[in-house]
Structure 1
Amino acid sequence: MSALNIEFADSPGVCRLVGSLTLDYVMDLEAQQSALWQHKQLTLDLADLQQSDMAGLAWLVRLVGEARLRGVSMRFTNPPDTLLKLAKISDVDKLLPLE
């Protein structure tokens, strides 16, 4: 496993999650996530996730809720198959703005 970070791209409002979106690392994002709310439109690329679990999925669902409260339009791109399967099994796939 590896740590989890938010990396910001050169384009405003575009960033990617890199590492393991798992219980062991999801709390690492708490300090970093405040930087996400500087944009009114946010694209979070998930292509560089190495692992994901239910805790990571729950964090994404919570992130979507917080984005709505802040008036931020959010979308997730390139979700890994494992994350898609977890979302479907948990019946939260419709809550996530997946592309």
Structure 2
Amino acid sequence: MSEVVLEQQPDGYRVRGELSFDTVAQLLGRSPVHGAQLRVDLGGVSRTDSAGLALLVSWMREARHAGCDIRFSNVPPQLLAIARVSGFDRLLPVAAP
């Protein structure tokens, strides 16, 4: 089974591993949303699919309800392509590099 890890960092969180249908369940219930601002570094994601995008959208929804400004950095090209095809690319809060 593939694995995905959510690691706390000094400036937010880092996701490492595969973010896919096989792994997103490992992160359900482990929302990183807290505080006024949150940065989630996706640079450690090795592979993703639409389930990965669904997880990010879920975190975005939680952040909005909590009044938290969430930003994703180092978004893999594969995830950006999925977001573009599904129309979420305009809604995905991507941090400047």
The answer to whether TM tops 0.5 is: yes
Aligned pairs (5 A) from 1:2-17: 2-9=2-9, 11-12=10-11, 14-17=12-15
- How far 1:59 moved relative to its partner? 1.1
Which of 75, 83, 91 is the matching residue for 2:87? 91
Q: CA RMSD in A?
A: 1.3
Structure with bigger helix share is 1
Provide runs of 4+ in structure 1 moved above 3 Å: none
Within 1, Cα distance between the matches of 2:34 and 2:85? 33
Residues paired across the two proteins, number: 95
Q: Which residue of 2 aligns with 1:62?
A: 58
Task: Identify unmatched segments of 5+ residues in structure 2.
Answer: none
- How far 1:75 moved relative to its partner? 0.1
Q: Which residue of 2 aligns with 1:44?
A: 40
Task: Identify unmatched segments of 5+ residues in structure 1.
Answer: none
Within 2, Cα distance between the matches of 1:2 and 1:16? 17
Structure with bigger strand share is 2
- How far 1:57 moved relative to its partner? 0.5
